[in-house]
Amino acid sequence: MRKRLVIPRIASSEITSESAYLKRRDFIRAAGLAALPTMSALSPSAGAAVATGGGPLDYGEALAGSSGFRTEEPATPSADISAYCNFYEFGTDKGDPARYAHEMTVDPWSIEVSGSVHKPGKLHLEDILSGFDLQERIYRLRCVEAWSMVVPWVGFPLADLLNRFEPTSEARYVSFETLYRRDEMRGTRSFTSTIDWPYREGLRLDEAMHPLTLMAVGLYGKTLPNQNGAPVRLVIPWKYGFKSIKSVVRIRLTEKQPMTTWQALAPREYGFYANVNPEVDHPRWSQASERRLPSSLFRPNRIPTTMFNGYAEQVAHLYQGMDLARSY
Amino acid sequence: MERGIRFGAFILCLLPFIWVVYAAVVGRLGPDPAEVLMHFTGEWSLRILALTLLVSPLRTWTGWSVLMKMRRMLGLFAFFYGCIHFLSFLQFYTGWAPAALAEEIVERPYIALGFGAWALMLPLALTSTRAMRRRLGGNWRRLHRLVYPAAVLACLHLLWQARSDVGEALIYFAIFALLLTWRLKRHRLQQQQSVSART
């Protein structure tokens, strides 16, 4: 029988500092050990890493310039990435997820895949963590609130997961749902919240199958902290952050475009596509520039926002002929 | 005793400012300090504005005259935090470009509301000295009623920014609604009394 995996909470002291992390990478590169099999020998397998307490995940490094899988921009320190989050299930303050997400049980966990697929079924946590080839992707993340980060994720393409369930020819869209567990998610108990839980997101099938679209299970080479969407979350680097749904429990392939949480709440402000676009402002604020975090009071680090968050070369063809001011 | 209480209140009102300066210097404001500073100063401006409007009712209920002597200080503190809030906006969101400021005010209604609240408080702060009060006479009271629309604009400014949870804005609305209702009732009562005094 398989042993239950325990995903530990990561103490801030255990989070690799940016400098230590980059040094480790330099060491690996300098030693000429970048080849995947050698790295497996250096680090335990993903499943074991989870069981041993936030140890390094086993993954292949993203190569510089490989179709946008990696950026050379300085990564946001991991302490900032896991301290400053939007995860409204735990509260609307940026610090709430870091304070309260440990109340969420992430093991046992499963993702139910249904709808227009030949083989509907469930993926359990152990299948998710050890059943796919993990890769590192260093992506820009642009929040709709006009701040951004650079995040080294560890994960696998969503396409690998979807293909396992064999989408039928009717499948046009993919919808996703976050875990909704009131007793573990205090934000969902707020009676003044206008969100209809669970949190829902959706993609067109070709967007979902795009090689950049990632299911992330790790951050900075280690197990994903709860507040960042443990144990498994979506990452779509060319769309505003709210599309990258966290702590996914349900995936459904559909023929019709699914309704998403933000679209239902404020259709004038949040569209289905939500592609990063400096020319289409949010009705309440400009999207032309962003604060790249960490920023400081004396150096706000304001940079211009780029079309598709800088991934136009990889994804612009998906939207050919569409009016992006209307399909925002 | 009275001076001690007023000095204590002065220090209490200054504490949020001291904390935020300290946190900024030691880097405790997190990865996005501009946003924290904006929220923090905006909220304290609103809170102290509520305290300012609480002075009159409290004075009526308790009879403590020292309260009235703190009202000007409280009002000026509300304006002080409002100024830091506005200056932070100019620094972090417009980069001091007049064109950017004009665009934000014209295109983003919630910013126009916040700016309006600040602009209404400006003449009140300028005329808060004893000399100005004497010089303006009866007009001073009328001018200083601008604090009520300023409070309403500030609440709307907060509500308009809510993305999914309107709880916080509603709490402020409720507080200011109570404070304004109390004044309306007192006003009616005074009118009735003056009418009955005449007859």
Touching check for A28 and chain B: CB below 8 Å?
A: no
Query: B34 contacts in A (CB within 8 Å)?
Result: 291, 295, 297, 300
Query: What is d(CA B30, CA B34) in angstroms, rounded to the nearest whole number?
Result: 9
Q: How far apart are CA B141 and CA B171, in angstroms?
A: 28
**Whole domain around residue B62: which residue ranges?**
2-190
Do the domain assignments include residue B64? yes
Name chain A contacts of B28, Cβ cutoff 8 Å.
none
Tell me whether residues B33 and A302 touch, CB distance under 8 A. Answer: no
Nearest to A295 among B32, B104, B165 (CB): B32
| Interface-testing mutation among A142, A228, A284, with chain B (most B C-beta atoms within 10 A) | A284
B115 in a structural domain: yes
At residue A41 the predicted structure's pLDDT band, cuts being 50, 70 and 90, is: very low
Domain positions in chain A are 12-273
Residue A26 has pLDDT above 60, yes or no: no
Q: Which residues of B touch A (CB under 8 A)?
A: 24, 27, 29-35, 37, 91-92, 95, 104, 107-108, 110, 160-161, 163-167, 170
Examine residue B199 and state whether it is found in any structural domain, yes or no.
no
Cβ of B110 within 8 Å of Cβ of A284? The answer is: yes
Nearest residue on chain B to A292, judged by CA atoms? B32
What are the percentages of helix, strand and coil residues in chain A, rounded to 5?
30, 25, 50
Specify which residues A207 forms β-bridges with: none
Number of Cα atoms under 13 Å in the Cβ half of residue A64: 4
What is the per-residue pLDDT across B143-152, written as a single tens digit (0 to 9) for each? Answer: 999 999 999 9
What is the assigned CATH class of domain A12-273? alpha beta
Is residue A32 very low, low, confident or very high in pLDDT (cuts 50, 70, 90)? very low
* Any B CB within 8 A of A295 CB: yes
Structural domains counted in chain B: 1
The per-residue pLDDT for range A173-190, each reduced to its tens digit, is 999 999 999 999 999 998
Across the A:B interface, residue pairs with CB atoms under 8 Å apart total: 71
Using CA atoms of A75, A81, A87, A90 in order, give the dihedral in degrees to the nearest 10. Answer: 180
Average of per-residue pLDDT values in chain A: 86
pLDDT level of residue A64 (50, 70, 90 thresholds): low
Q: What are A22's two structure tokens?
A: 């980059």
Residue with structure tokens 């989870």? Answer: A50
pLDDT tens digits, one per residue of B59-76 = 999 998 888 889 999 999
- Do the chains contact at A88 and B31, CB–CB below 8 Å? no
Instruction: For residue B30, give the chain A residue with the closest CA.
Output: A80
| pLDDT for A173 | 98
Look up the ipTM and state it: 0.78
Whether the bond between A231 and the residue before it is cis, its omega within 30 degrees of 0, is yes
Query: A110 near A4, Cβ under 8 Å?
Result: no
The per-residue pLDDT for range B106-122, each reduced to its tens digit, is: 888 899 999 999 999 99
Beta pairing partners, A138: A152
pLDDT by position in tens, chain B (length 199): 788 999 999 999 999 999 999 999 888 898 999 889 999 999 999 999 999 999 999 999 999 888 888 999 999 999 999 999 999 999 888 878 888 888 888 888 899 999 999 999 999 999 999 999 999 999 999 999 999 999 999 999 999 988 888 888 999 999 999 999 999 999 899 888 888 777 6
B154 close to B117: Cβ distance less than 8 angstroms: yes
